Chain A
Amino acid sequence: MSRIATDTAPLVSARNVHKSFGHNEVLKGIDLDVMPGEVVVVLGPSGSGKSTFLRCINHLEAINRGSIMVAGEQIGYRLNGERLVKLSPRAIAAQRRQIGMVFQQFNLFPHMTALENIIEAPVGVHGHSRKEATDYAMELLARIGLTEKANAYPRQLSGGQQQRVAIARALAIRPKLMLFDEPTSALDPELVGEVLATMRDLAGQGLTMIVVTHEIGFAREAADRVVFMDGGLVVEEGRPEEVLANPSHPRTRLFLSRFIREAA
């Protein structure tokens, strides 16, 4: 755990986060701190608000109450003296540039090759030169073992390859924080391993990651902390060996027992 700088300020700091869709309150006061370099795995039953929380962190969803800070900046708002003001779409876009996101459905741009997908944001959003972006993209493709697929279109790749390209695309902007929303849930079982291996590499390199997943094995091996969500609240959190082996909350116990039975 030495790679986590415990003495510095948290990279992500969510306080009392509430989010409703109409009358349906999905997040009911989430508190969570993530330290730089920490890998946090979020577990929880379907509909517990995991994706919603993740999407609030980069303001894909606006929260109704509470606050979210990333790297010392409040997401979506700015303090002007004593008044909190909403940021312009342009300023929100700028905040998102330090956060990488990986989606369950990959969301690669289908009209661009793997390489074009990876350099799109660095060139078009971050203003890097095409040469520099391409060099880094090729380095990332080499790291995920897909150098020879640089010029393939997403539809010519397997699901696992697409998701690895999507991870490389998110890494290409050199993010301070990576968000993963069930990155392996849309994959055939035999393709899950290659994506998890890529993510384990990243975890080992000290990247700060928040990972929503149902892969208990990944949580056990790669997570510094496991957060268990249920009904829009964090009901339990702690080191994976503790929470996974000895859940204290009955909801966590129920959830994990179902998983362990499924795995058996």
Chain B
Amino acid sequence: MSSAAEPMHDRQATLRDVANAHRPFEWGRWLLWAFVLAVGANFAWIVAWNPNFGWPVVAQWFTAESILRGLYVTLGLTVVAMVIGVVIGLLLAIARLSDDRLFSGLAGLFIWFFRGTPLLVQLIFWYNLSTLFPEISISIPFGPTLVSWHTNDLITPMTAAIAGLSLNEAAYMAEIIRGGLLSVDKGQSEASDAFGMTRARALWRVIIPQAMRSIVPPTGNQLISMIKATSLVSVIAMADLLYSVQAVYNRTFEVVPMLMVAVIWYLVITTVLNIGQGFIERYYARGERGATERMPVIAEATP
């Protein structure tokens, strides 16, 4: 009995081994792919051959000097405002989380004000600061003045743009960073305390590296919003990317092709940032279970 059953059993085992499984041909998915590709190709075709987009004009202006200068201003503003915004945002987040009522209150007030008012209005106020405060001085409260400046000497379109964008960004980053710091297990700061680390060292070595995992994705979001928010500075006569294309189409009336130039540049920057974000996220995922083995597993699963 058993001698007859065994080969049968073996054969069953081989048949049932999932390693030899075949994938059923999925007609539905293939049709869907074909349909989407066809629609996409058709759309690209229509856009490419539509004379209204003025592709030759786009090509002609894409790397024109005035456009590149505007691009440079946009990138520069974004980087500077973002860096200042992250630094101030970090300080605000730490102040907001501190037990000190004064610090957390002041940070709360800052965040409330700069998130609660439109960025456009903030920019205009910064630009027109001299009408509110003709002079800025450092002095002892109600006492003598130590140093003073004419506001008009300090506030150029550039400084107004940087102040407006970075302080507004700081308010948003503060909340993102605070959320990140709160997401770290309480046991971590407890262990740091127990080892006699100072608060600053615990934040820097233990808490922030772990908070980064939840800080990075929304920060990428903020950065992309920031690139586009910089276009608001055209109202205070900063020649950013959008302002530069506007300057051209105000002369040539080629509105759509010039806007396409700006759109394509914005998309190029966003793409580069997305790739960079991916690398950063992978870096901060180290130590996660499977973070190191994940790559080969995927490579195996898709022959």
List residues of chain A with CB under 8 Å of any chain B CB.
Answer: 58, 60, 89-90, 93-97, 99, 101, 103, 105, 107-113, 120-121, 124-125, 153-156, 173
Contacts and interface: CB of A to CB of B under 8 A. Distances in A.
A71 B193 CA distance: 19
Interface string B201-240: 1000110011000000000000000000000000000000
B195 A107 contact: no
**Residue among B185, B194, B201, B205 with most chain A CB within 10 A:** B194
A257 to B, nearest CB: 33
Contacts of A103: 187, 190-191
A139 B206 CA distance: 24
B194 A58 contact: yes
Contact of A110 (B193, B196, B210): B210
Given A107-B187, A107-B190, A109-B191, A155 B289 contact: yes
A105 B187 contact: yes
12 contacts: A60-B190, A89-B198, A90-B198, A95-B196, A97-B195, A101-B194, A107-B187, A107-B188, A107-B190, A124-B197, A124-B201, A154-B287
B153 interface: no
Given A124-B197, A125-B195, A109 B286 contact: no
Contact of A112 (B198, B287, B288): B287
B196 A111 contact: no
B196 A94 contact: yes
B113 to A, nearest CB: 30
Contacts of B194: 58, 60, 96, 99, 101
B9 interface: no
Interface in B171-202: 185, 187-188, 190-191, 193-199, 201
Contacts of A99: 194
Given A110-B287, A111-B210, A154-B287, A93 B190 contact: no
A124 B205 contact: yes
A116 to B, nearest CB: 10
Given A103-B190, A107-B188, A110-B210, A96 B195 contact: yes
Given A103-B191, A107-B191, A124-B205, A153 B286 contact: yes
Interface residues of B, number: 22
Contacts of B195: 96-97, 101, 120-121, 125, 173
Given A109-B206, A112-B287, A153-B286, A93 B191 contact: no
Contacts of B287: 110-113, 153-155
Nearest to A93: B196
Contacts of B286: 111, 153
A176 to B, nearest CB: 13
Nearest to B288: A155
A156 B289 contact: yes
A123 to B, nearest CB: 10
CB-CB nearest 10 A-B residue pairs: A97-B196, A107-B191, A96-B196, A153-B287, A107-B187, A101-B194, A121-B195, A155-B289, A93-B196, A111-B287
A151 B93 CA distance: 33
Nearest to A122: B195
Nearest to B195: A121
Contacts of A95: 196
Given A107-B188, A109-B206, A111-B284, 18 more contacts: A93-B197, A96-B194, A96-B196, A97-B195, A101-B195, A103-B191, A107-B187, A107-B190, A107-B191, A109-B210, A110-B288, A112-B287, A121-B195, A121-B196, A124-B197, A125-B195, A154-B287, A156-B289
A200 B126 CA distance: 67
B290 to A, nearest CB: 9
A108 B289 CA distance: 14
Contacts of B210: 109-111
A89 B187 contact: no
Contacts of B198: 89-90, 93
Contacts of A107: 185, 187-188, 190-191
Nearest to A166: B191
**Residue among A96, A103, A110, A112 with most chain B CB within 10 A:** A110
